[in-house]
Amino acid sequence: MTPERLDIDQLPGYALRRAANAMIGRLAERLSGLDIRVSEATAMILVNNGDCLTASDIARALDIRRTNMVPMLKRLEDRGLIERRALDGKSQALMLTAQGEKVLAAARQEIAAFEAELIARVPEPHREHLLPALQALYLPP
């Protein structure tokens, strides 16, 4: 039971948590002017990208439980940013409304600025390695 000193700032896992908290907080600030959350912006991007995507599809793509989509999509729908169209008696396709596309366009600007700021913070020699390293941590091998 030696009182080993563990320097947490040298642990990639700790740095990952701190970096994510710090950066996502900054993105949240940027999006707060549009009154949308980071998770909502992400979902809107996917809805905009895909054709006939359902709530379950989005949940699978984001690797979160589909139960969490319910309040999130309800809020987006209540605000007139998304619409649903029945695909059959069970599934509903999600689509952005005109207003939703407008908000997403603005969100995209903020996201672009955010991503630029993020990359700018990373010193040159490490820059190109960040994305593939992070992808390896969450994408299936």
Partner DNA sequence: TATTGTTATACTCTATAACTATA
Partner DNA sequence: TATAGTTATAGAGTATAACAATA
List interacting residues with DNA (CB under 7 A): 17, 21, 25, 28, 37-40, 54-57, 62-70, 72-74, 88-92
Instruction: Evaluate whether 8 touches 14 at the Cβ level (below 8 Å).
Output: yes
**CB under 5 to 8 A by kind: which of DNA, a copy of itself, none does 28 bind?**
DNA
Beta strands in the chain (DSSP E): 82-86, 92-96
3-state secondary structure of 72: helix
Least distance from C-beta 108 to DNA, angstroms? 16
3-state secondary structure of 11: coil
83 binds a copy of itself (CB under 8 A): no
* 106 CB-near residues (< 8 Å, 6+ apart): 34
| Binder among 21, 32, 56, 99 for a copy of itself (CB under 8 A) | 21
Instruction: Evaluate whether 47 touches 94 at the Cβ level (below 8 Å).
Output: yes
6 binds a copy of itself (CB under 8 A): yes
- Interface residues toward a copy of itself, by CB under 8 A: 1, 3-24, 27, 38, 42, 45-46, 48-49, 63, 101-102, 105, 108, 111, 114-115, 118-119, 121-123, 125-127, 129-139, 141
